[in-house]
Amino acid sequence: MTTILVDQDLCTRCGICSIVCPAGIVDPADENTLPVVTDTKAGMCIRCGHCEVSCPSQALLLNYLPDEKVAFPANVGSLSPEDLGIYVQKRRSVRHFTKEPVPKEKILKILDIARYAASGGNGQPVQWCIVYDPEEVRRLASLTVDWMKTLKNSSHPMSGYVPSLIAVWEAGNDPICRGAPHLVIAHIPAGNPVATVDAFIALTHFDIAAPAFDIGTCWAGFLSMAATTYEPLQRALALPTGRIFAYSQMFGHPQYKVYGIPRRNPVQVTWK
């Protein structure tokens, strides 16, 4: 299959597509030929799309899901540095949620944004499991507490912290998932050495995009620690064969709104 399709009437032979290709496989145009990926190099294409989206004249089309190409007018989606800064700075970890479920359509829109997250070699190894039923979220939280009980009086770094968390749970509160109605779980192929980083990048996209949909998130650290080792929790998650848990976030409608930006330590930078 031809890797790139080039409109000879639009191509200006500027060479940008060849320059920006991470794999260096686009042979540049000259006065007699158009840009091309030869058959011997086609297998090296990672389908990242840099060649297509960097073409000033929109003459080039990556021949991968070509019907899904989205054209957009200039400056659509642009944010001022000030607006972007405030949006990101006001992002909070939400630990108080309403009981109102998030519509599945809205969750899919957030995941549609997250699927554009960077990944090593454009491998896109991250897949998702949404725990939508609040009762199932609570069951997974309960299993996490069971895991914590196995850590008491052990050498585990969490050993000294779990008794108070267990006590909070047994008093009828949820220190694990904070009563969130939903969980998003990123899972990755077993044995992929870089996929864990890819999962964190994708989850960060979910985390940053969610507030634009009036959704609050919080990284589910306790559950994620348990899910990496505790077999009863792993069985309950029932991820597809060959795939492993990477990390998770709780999410739902925030019970309280944000009206400001808190202070943080100054940036510490070493220039070299």
* C-alpha closest to that of 90 among 250, 263, 253, 249: 263
The confidence score (pLDDT) of residue 76 equals 78
69 pLDDT more than 90: no
191-202 residue pLDDT tens: 999 999 999 999
Determine which of 26-35, 164-173, 183-192, 230-239 has the lowest per-residue pLDDT on average.
26-35
Single pTM value for the model:
0.90
16-45 residue pLDDT tens: 999 999 999 999 999 889 999 999 999 999
Compute the distance between CA of residue 179 and CA of residue 172 in angstroms, rounded to an integer: 11
| Tokens 């998932």 -> residue | 177
The confidence score (pLDDT) of residue 265 equals 95
Classified as helix, coil or strand, 185 is strand
* C-alpha closest to that of 8 among 35, 40, 45: 35
CA distances to 25, 56, 64, 121, 178 from 5, in Å:
14, 15, 10, 22, 51
134-153 residue pLDDT tens: 999 999 999 999 999 999 98
Compute the distance between CA of residue 154 and CA of residue 176 in angstroms, rounded to an integer: 20
Q: Are 137 and 184 in contact (CB under 8 A)?
A: no
Map out the domains of the chain with their CATH numbers.
Answer: 1-72 (3.30.70.20), 85-252 (3.40.109.10)
Long-range contacts from 172-179, C-beta under 8 angstroms, 24+ separation: 174/138, 174/141, 175/222, 176/141, 176/144, 176/145, 176/220, 176/222, 176/223, 177/137, 177/138, 177/140, 177/141, 177/220, 177/223, 177/250, 178/95, 178/96, 178/97, 178/218, 178/250, 179/96, 179/97
In DSSP terms, 254 is beta-bridged to 97
70-101 residue pLDDT tens: 777 777 778 899 999 999 999 999 999 999 99
The confidence score (pLDDT) of residue 73 equals 73
**What mean pLDDT is reported for the chain?**
95
Classified as helix, coil or strand, 41 is coil
Compute the distance between CA of residue 53 and CA of residue 60 in angstroms, rounded to an integer: 8
